[in-house]
Structure 1
Amino acid sequence: MERKTWTNCDSIDKKGNSMQKNRQLTINMAANFINFGISLCISFFLSPYIVRTIGVEANGFITLANNFVSYTSLITIALNSMIGRFVTISLTEKKTDDANRYFTSALFANGSIAAVLGTIGIFIVLCLKSLINVPENLLYDVQLLFVLLFINCLLGIIGSVFSVATFARNKLYLEYIRTAQGNVARAMVILVGFLFWTPHVWVVGIGGLVSGIIILIYDVKYTKKLLPEIKIKRSNFCFSYVFILIKSGIWNTVNKFGQILADGLDLLITNLFISATAMGVLSLAKTVPNLIYSLMGSIVSVFTPDFTIMYAQKKFKELVVEVKQSMKIMGVVTNLPVIVLIVCGKDFFKLWQPTQNAEQLQILSIITVACLIFSGSVNCLYNIFTVVNKLKLNSIVVLIHGVLSTMIVFILLKNTSLGIYAVTGVSTALGILRILVFTVPYGAICLGQKWYTFYIDVFKPVLFTIVASGVCVCALKNYPSGGWLLLCEKGVITVTISVLIGYYAILSERERNAVSSKIIEKLRKQC
């Protein structure tokens, strides 16, 4: 009788933990979607306004300036990319002293790195005219924009350690809320600046700086609230802990460098080898894909704390199940906007950027986002490399991808007339090849599974995207166009059809029955 009682208690406890985990996941994802919606609205309204008021070239320099800042942050990735993992695992294992040393050591090291990057930033701003093609009438504005973005970058580096708190306590919704607040503040500053003064690109830099300050303030506040055991003392600084973080994260630096070579240099290459105008066009074409990639990155980050905690608790079987489930969710959620872009993209660009070539923008956008059809679900496996601390091989492969991509782009630009289509297409093609040949089988091996374990979870979303896009294109071929209301109707129909197809293409019969049962149960409760 006692054994039965304890078994029931264990069962209830496990069910309670599962419900709590699902509830936290739901809250995190809901907050994430709200944040994404705000970011989408800001980009949606600001980009055409910037193009209309200060030109397509100036809009391109805004994106290029942000890219330059990301180049200089390469030096911080080795240190900061693994701090969340080590602090979370230390706290989970009740090793508070270790958590304090990791946190404080990373904070002090970031302060030193920020000083070095500040010097590099000054050099870049002073030599900007020699580094990139900037029209003379925009030179001062672009220089000031770079200054403001570099200051914001330095604040972000110093304060990046404080963002660990929401990750370690699996309360990412707080991170998304503060990011949303920062984005709203950024948009308000830019709009006020453009409405009451002569429009300049540096106003965008002021908006970014205000947003960065708000985010830093909230991160410090969350750290005090969620991690009261963390004490920032000079005595907690230990260089050996900095070395551990860098040793583990150095391959993330290599990985990031490979990503920059693969697609992070596209605007710079377009500026130097084609024109500033072409760079502006490519920047517009990448706006929607970048939002989709941002959505994907935010959603996949929701699962990472659970992965890390399960790994720390040595629940390896449960971890594999969780990864497969997250891949299915990612496969549907991240490919829905891709399907909408394929079906409704041309109509959207006609309305959003009426002064630009809508067909060209759609083609460039689809080429840019095509890799996502495969990588949407696979991004869960990238996080596994961090969780199990096996980053070396993946980073080397990404670096090879980046080097090959850059070399092939230069060859095509010199010997063909493909222009910006070569800049966008090469990285996408090589990216798909890398995912299928390396990422999927290596991710399975890192989790102790057969190399082919996750292929079915990769190809189902691809099939879903192809079928749903084809069905929607045929069904809506003669659908009227000409206004935002009609475009919204077309988008809603596309999403509805795609969700119904995804229900059968992605979910197994058992999972479909489970979903149906939950929906019926919810409806009964409502009635």
Structure 2
Amino acid sequence: MKFTINFSANVVAFLLSVFLSVWMTPFIVKTLGVEAFGFVHLTQNVINYFSIITVALSSVVVRFFSVAAHRGKLEEANGYLSNYLAASVILSLLLFLPLTGAAFFIETFINVPAALLADVRLSILIGSLLFVLTFFMAGFATGPFYANRLYISSSIQAVQMLVRVICVLVLFTCFTPEIWQIQLAALVGAGAAAVLSVYFFKKLIPWFSFRMKDLSFQTSKKLFQAGAWSSVNQIGVLLFLQIDLLTANMMLGASEAGKYAAIIQFPLLLRSLAGTLASLFAPVITSYYSKGDMEGLVKYANQAVRLNGLLLALPAALLGGLAGPFLTIWLGPAFAQLAPLLYIHAGYLAVSLAVMPLFYIWTAYNKQKTPALVTLLLGGLNVLLAVTLSGPAHLGLYGITIAGAAALILKNVVFTPLYVSYITNHKKHVFYKGALAPLSAAVFAWAVCKALQLFYTVDSWTSLIATGLVVSCCYAVFAFGVICTKEERQMAIKRLRKQKGAVNI
């Protein structure tokens, strides 16, 4: 039941993100221009590079807190979180100087038109405050995670997005539109989320209290040592996810980077959805590990990969199958020529995102050294390929996309299942079983998209949405009748009847 609630809340939050992106992007592009729009995301990417330092704490505190609390060691759990909060304040103060420096010397790193320089600098300064606040508030995510009530986190994110959009509209209406206003709106939204996070944390973890006596150099050292490889991993993640726009800016110019910033939003949303869905399985994976039930953990992880992949196959197929009509309707005919970029993104994401629940196994085992080094190595490969293919090979934005596809497939499809099978002492192929069904389901949905477009033209929001609904219905029938096993179908019917009975009562 908790999974169903958590999943429903995350889907609602994701759909809200999609709606806001669909509505906000054309509005901002039309208001600020495509070149300026590129810096909305690029400035945030520059700030995110500093997460290499902060992730050493934020990535492990949830794990240590939850394992200790699940084992009944509440004092130990209290100490972990107290040390995180104190260390996050100290680190934030230390990082503020280089963050400020990045704002005033940004033109030495990226191509910024003179007319936008002051705007970009102010955006980075405001974004720095947002970064610091987000870092500090990460500790309060331990509440929903430990209680396995991730729907609370999703609801808070939804509120944060709504506040952000409202603020953008107010600022753009009352003042001359500028890039920094988008960052300011994001900061206000994060402030609202912070208030809600603290409130629900106190409700879920009433026994926690920040105490000076719990502050310990040894505890902080333990967190930093455990998170050191997370920092290395974060470098690789940034080379995967935060280098595309920077490469486009440096190799192809601000205008091309602006176009790429617009269309990359939906692949990024799909990655975000994958990460959010994968996190739904993390509390149970952590619980299995904490209790020493390794067989249960492996069985559950296999089911998680299969379900996660089936949930992601549909949006990935829709993104690729309807890319041309979508870009034309959404941003205009000028963007339709970039549809092949979305074909590539949809293809490799459908293949590589299913296995993301497995990331939480090596986190639970605290075996993060090898994944971190592999992520760093392949992230470097991504950068090398992106620069080479977009510049000397003259593939432009397609080179950047192909580079990301190759590197992520190597990391997620090749390395991750093999490494997890190694640390759990199982056969090499055991975690590949769950990834095959989602791939066939994605191909089916893509084929339905293409087949429908042979019979009628998708040239309006109405026809686009109608096509998406038809494909979704066909996908549901195919997945339930062909992909799902007999046991899975019986379980689904049983849960449906149970929920129906509860409603009737």
TM-score range, shorter chain: over 0.9
1:1-150 matches, within 5 Å, as: 23-150=1-128
Deviations 1:292-341 (A, max 9, x none): 11111111111111111121112222222221221121111111111111
1:349-377: CA deviations, max 9, x gaps? 111101632131x2222323433212222
Deviation at 1:413, TM superposition (A): 3.4
2:355 paired residue among 378, 384, 396: 378
Distance of 1:256 and 1:44 partners within structure 2: 29
Distance 1:520 1:167 in 2: 29
Check whether the contact 2:421–2:430 (CA below 8 A) recurs between aligned residues.
yes
Match of 2:158 in 1: 180
Supply the RMSD in Å over aligned alpha carbons.
1.8
CA distance in 2, matches of 1:524, 1:43: 37
3-state secondary structure, aligned to 1:390: coil
The amino acid of 2:39's aligned partner reads F
Task: Give me the whole-angstrom Cα distance separating, in 2, the residues matched to 1:192 and 1:439.
Answer: 45
Letter in 1 for 2:16: I
Contact 1:332 1:506 in 2 (8 A): no
Aligned-residue identity in percent: 28
Q: Does 1:165 align with 2:152?
A: no
Q: Number of matched residues?
A: 504
Q: Which whole-Å CA distance do the structure 2 matches of 1:453 and 1:26 have between them?
A: 26
**Mapping for residues 236-255 of structure 1, pairs under 5 Å:** 236-255=214-233
Partner of 1:320: 298
The answer for the alignment partner of 2:416 in structure 1 is 439
The yes-or-no answer on 1:366 pairing with 2:343 is yes
* Superposed displacement of residue 518, structure 1: 5.0
Instruction: Return the alpha-carbon distance in structure 1 between the equivalents of residues 285 and 137 of structure 2.
Output: 25
Which amino acid is the alignment partner of residue 391 of structure 1? Answer: Q
Per the TM alignment, residue 253 of structure 1 is displaced from its structure 2 partner at its CA by: 1.3
CA deviation map 1:52-95 (0-9, x unaligned):
01101111101111111211111011111010111011111111
2:119 corresponds to which letter in structure 1? Answer: D
> Contact 1:282 / 1:364 at 8 angstroms: preserved in 2?
no
Cα displacement (A) at 1:481: 2.2
1:517 deviates by: 5.3
Structure 1's 312 and 50: CA in aligned 2 closer, same or farther, altered over 3 A? same
Q: Determine if contact 2:303/2:434 at 8 Å carries over to the other structure.
A: no
Q: Distance in 2 between matches of 1:39 and 1:168?
A: 25
**Candidates 255, 263, 278, aligned match of 1:300:** 278
- Counterpart in 2 of 1:481? 458
Give distance in 2, aligned partners of 1:67 and 1:456.
35
Whether 1:211 and 2:195 are equivalent positions in the alignment is no
Could you tell me which runs of 5 or more consecutive residues in structure 2 were left unpaired when the two chains were aligned: none
> Is the Cα contact below 8 Å between 1:263 and 1:424 reproduced in 2?
no
Deviation at 1:501, TM superposition (A): 2.0
Following superposition of structure 1 onto structure 2, how do residues 192-341 of structure 1 map, counting pairs within 5 Å?
A: 192-341=170-319
1:469 aligns with 2:446: yes
Is residue 348–residue 405 contact of structure 2 (8 Å, CA) maintained in 1?
yes
Judged with a 3 Å threshold, the aligned counterparts in structure 2 of structure 1 residues 160 and 278 are, in CA distance, closer, same or farther, namely: same
Per mean C-alpha deviation after superposition, the further-off stretch among 435-444 and 23-32 is: 435-444
Q: Tell me if the contact between 2:127 and 2:183 (Cα under 8 Å) persists in the aligned partners.
A: yes
State the alpha-carbon separation in 2 of the partners of residues 271 and 66 from structure 1.
Answer: 14
After superposition, the Cα gap between the structure-2 partners of 1:224 and 1:521, relative to the gap in structure 1 and judged at 3 Å, is closer
CA distance in 1, matches of 2:262, 2:301: 34
Could you tell me how far apart the structure 2 residues matched to 1:355 and 1:114 are? 45
The corresponding residue for 1:507 is 484
Counterpart amino acid of residue 120 in structure 2 = V
- Residues 13 and 154 in structure 2, CA contact (< 8 A), matched pair in contact too: yes
Say if 1:148 and 1:202, in contact at 8 Å, map to a contact too. Answer: yes
User: Offset of 1:414 from its aligned partner?
Assistant: 3.9
The structure that has the greater radius of gyration is 1
On the 8 A contact 2:385/2:400 being kept in 1, the answer is: no
1:503 deviates by 2.3
1:456 pairs with 433, 436, 451, which one?
A: 433
What secondary structure, in the 3-state scheme, does the structure 1 residue paired with 2:15 have?
A: helix
Tell me the TM-score normalized by structure 2: 0.96
Q: Distance in 2 between matches of 1:170 and 1:356?
A: 45
In 2, Cα distance between equivalents of 1:399 and 1:416: 24
* TM norm structure 1: 0.92
The answer to whether the 8 Å contact 2:448/2:471 transfers is no
Deviations 1:211-255 (A, max 9, x none): 111111122222222112211111111111111112112111111
The Cα of 1:406 is off from its aligned counterpart by 1.4
- Is the 2:3–2:280 contact (alpha carbons within 8 Å) kept by the matching residues of 1? yes
5+ unaligned residues in a row in structure 1: which ranges? Answer: 1-22
CA distance 1:212–1:315, shift in 2 (3 Å) = same
Aligned to 2:380: 403
Counterpart of 2:362 in structure 1: which amino acid? F
How far apart in 2 are the matches of 1:311 and 1:420? 43
| Secondary structure at the counterpart of residue 210 of structure 2 | coil
For 1:365, give the aligned amino acid. L
Alignment check: 8 A CA contact 2:390 2:396 kept: yes
Q: For 1:116-148, what per-residue CA distance to the aligned partner results, in whole angstroms no more than 9, with x for missing partners?
A: 211111100111122211111111111111111
Cα distance change of structure 1 residues 514 and 99 upon mapping to structure 2, 3 Å threshold: closer
* Counterpart for residue 393 of structure 1: 370
Whole-angstrom distance in 1 between the partners of 2:488 and 2:136: 45
1:81 match: secondary structure: helix
Structure 1 outlier segments of 4+, above 4 Å: 516-527
C-alpha change, 1:278 and 1:315, in structure 2 (3 Å) is same
For 1:10, the equivalent position in structure 2 comes to none
Q: Counterpart of 2:234 in structure 1: which amino acid?
A: K
What CA distance in whole angstroms lies between the structure 1 residues aligned with 2:340 and 2:152?
A: 37
- How far apart are 1:463 and its partner, in Å? 1.8
Match of 2:168 among 177, 190, 195: 190
Q: Distance in 1 between matches of 2:272 and 2:98?
A: 27
Whichever residue aligns with residue 446 of structure 1, its letter is: I
Contact 1:106 1:242 survives alignment (8 Å): yes
